[in-house]
Structure 1
Amino acid sequence: MNQSITLPVKEQPYYQAFLLSLFALFVCGAVAAFSALTKESIVARNIEDTQRQLVQVLPQSLYDNMPSQEEITLTMDGKPTHFFRARKAGVASGVALFADTTGYSGTIHLLLGIDANGTLTGVRVLSHTETPGLGDNIDLAKSNWVLNFNGKSLKQPDEKGWHVKKDGGEFDSFTGATITPRGVVKGVHEALMLFQRHQNEFLDHKGS
């Protein structure tokens, strides 16, 4: 007669499968726990990084909230418009607005601070691919050129002034590189006009 051989419990297939499942559950639980622990700190770091970026274009005297926590995207003129809203005593006091323009070598990404009256409180170039030593003077790390936008608005200068000097406007261009500053001036001007057209939406005002 054939006699069946009974394996020890630890060698049974079902036991091995049980151990494997238990290990998988442990790993998944550990990953979930680690993710939960780190998620909050990652979010906090992202908020801090964004706030440091925003404070470059929005003076802290303009708000008492955390603009980095009031991030908004609205469709304006048929395109998504991304911005952060600043408030003081609960009232919208300005925005930090993202805008794109075209330079000599490609897209230039901008961040603009605009107060509730439509006056620029700061402009920064976030990224670009302009020619090193020429067009990259739009970067604050290379020159102070971008600071010339501080305090400007659609009223100061007037429409004619919103061009580089080579085109009859108020803004300097760079030696050997006119296209880049021309593009930035155009982009900033267009962003101010967008703000003017949609001021109620930017500032969360009701009615017309």
Structure 2
Amino acid sequence: MKNLRNLLLLAALGLLGIGTTLWLQHATAPRITTEQRALQARKLLDLLPAGSYDNQPLDQPLLLPNVQLDHSRLLEGYLATRNGQPSALLLRSQVTGYAGPIELLIAIDSQGRLLGSKALKQGETPGLGGRIGEQPSAWLAGFAGKSRNDPGDSAWALKKDQGQFDQIAGATITSRAAISALHDALRYFDEHRESLINGASHE
């Protein structure tokens, strides 16, 4: 009889423990989701200057269904606004590097100037092309302020290819890929500015 009582007590404690765990998971799930979203927002929005937007850009995605450009592919985009007016676009681009796909986040202001860019994913050679993934990347920072026409289209290339830009030391293919993706994004913005800043897409 004593053994039966002990078994029942253990079973009750086990059920209580399971119930408590499930309740805690249910109670904390919204907070975890909120924190994960905030973390993603910080990761994606830190290219935008402080005070340059007052909306929630991640709540205003652009309809970019894998737009294939000359050298890269646009995966998604977001519109940032201030006082109801477009202030910037965030474009997530994918280009083929030396070791595989490189995903870049590219921020462009409403005038078509590059605000900044960073690698979100890459598998380039550590110490060489892998330096594109440094946060921040001094090499990518050198493109800030550039636009499709500054320099002109033909100058969007490495100096060794008769362009204007230096490469990441020892990483010609990675550098070419990133420059091509940045130029593609700026050209796409320039050619579809009106539809993009109105929150629509254009294939």
For normalisation by structure 1, the TM-score amounts to: 0.76
The one-letter amino acid paired with 1:145 is W
CA distance in 2, matches of 1:139, 1:168: 26
Pairing of 1:1-208 with structure 2 (within 5 A): 31=22, 33-75=23-65, 77=67, 81-141=75-135, 143-204=137-198
CA distance in 2, matches of 1:105, 1:42: 34
CA distance in 2, matches of 1:35, 1:141: 34
Name which one, 1 or 2, has greater alpha-carbon Rg.
Answer: 1
Contact 2:118/2:135 (8 A) holds in 1: no
Identity %: 33
Contact 1:92/1:116 (8 A) holds in 2: yes
The Cα shift of 1:148 comes to: 0.9
Give the 3 Å change call, closer, same or farther, for CA 71–200 of structure 1 in structure 2.
Answer: same
Give the 3 Å change call, closer, same or farther, for CA 188–195 of structure 1 in structure 2.
Answer: same
Give the 3 Å change call, closer, same or farther, for CA 39–160 of structure 1 in structure 2.
Answer: same
CA distance in 2, matches of 1:84, 1:38: 29
CA distance in 1, matches of 2:74, 2:174: 24
Give the 3 Å change call, closer, same or farther, for CA 174–29 of structure 1 in structure 2.
Answer: closer
Question: Higher RCO, 1 or 2 (CA under 8 Å, sep at least 6)?
Answer: 2
Unmatched segments (≥5 aa) in structure 1: 1-22
Partner SS, residue 58 of structure 1:
coil
Unmatched segments (≥5 aa) in structure 2: 1-14
Give the 3 Å change call, closer, same or farther, for CA 91–141 of structure 1 in structure 2.
Answer: closer
CA distance in 1, matches of 2:19, 2:184: 50
Give the 3 Å change call, closer, same or farther, for CA 90–36 of structure 1 in structure 2.
Answer: farther
For normalisation by structure 2, the TM-score amounts to: 0.78
